[in-house]
Amino acid sequence: MRLKRGKLATDPVAFEAFYRRHIDAVTRFLSRRVDDPHTVADLAADVFLAVFDSAHTYRPGKGSEIAWLYGVARNTLSSERRRALRESQLTYRVSGRRPLDSDDVSRLEEQIDAEQPARAAFEAMAGLPDGERAVLELVVLEQLTPSEAAMALGIRPGTAMVRLHRARKALRDLPFVMEGNPR
């Protein structure tokens, strides 16, 4: 199914379909980065709120939905963006402490446990320059292709390839860095 530009923010049916396609991927994405179930749930809310704000940047047919969504999610995670969102009165219905019951908490905890190796990889990448780390993260941990990662980050595919190469060279002793989608 392809979405029309902008529809994500205005059409409840289109948005619901999009949400159901990707909510699991988003909570896994977040479980690779934070280790607290409540924070994962709060961030998931923030990511989909950011989808409303960024819906006009989605180009059907230009790169995959998930690459675009990971781009949105990465921006959402930047602390500055999160602070602005928190201060915005407009999102009070959704943002903030999401209510979780004990089933939710244990499901999310399982997911967070499962993503422990990925979080360890993040720590290993911490010393890389931001640009290189961003590409490596999306290719190795999120399994995007280098050109999808480029789209998510708003850079040229060639730039992504160069950064990926440099990052892998810098971390060549770690087992995870050669994983990921080779395309």
In the complex, which residues of this chain contact other proteins (CB under 8 A)? 4-6, 9-10, 12, 15-16, 19-20, 23, 27, 41, 44-45, 48-49, 52, 56, 90-91, 93-94, 98-101, 103-104
The torsion angle over the Cα atoms of residues 94, 95, 101 and 103, rounded to 10 degrees, is 100
Cβ proximity to other proteins, 6 vs 158, nearer residue: 6
Q: Which residues, in sequence order, are CB contacts of 127 under 8 Å at separation 6+? A: none
Question: In whole angstroms, how close is the CB of 64 to other proteins at the nearest point?
Answer: 20
Cβ proximity to other proteins, 40 vs 149, nearer residue: 40
- At what angle are helices 12-31 and 37-54 packed, to 10 degrees? 140
Question: In whole angstroms, how close is the CB of 61 to other proteins at the nearest point?
Answer: 12
Question: In whole angstroms, how close is the CB of 12 to other proteins at the nearest point?
Answer: 5
CA distance 62 to 88: 31
Taken in order 63, 64, 65, 66, is the CA torsion positive or negative? negative
Cβ proximity to other proteins, 6 vs 129, nearer residue: 6
Cβ proximity to other proteins, 78 vs 106, nearer residue: 106
Question: In whole angstroms, how close is the CB of 73 to other proteins at the nearest point?
Answer: 15
Amino acid at 58: Y
Place of tokens 């993260």: 137
Question: In whole angstroms, how close is the CB of 155 to other proteins at the nearest point?
Answer: 22
CA distance 54 to 14: 15
Cβ proximity to other proteins, 47 vs 160, nearer residue: 47
**Helical (H) or strand (E) element with 121:** helix 116-125
* Cβ-contact 147, 63 below 8 angstroms: yes
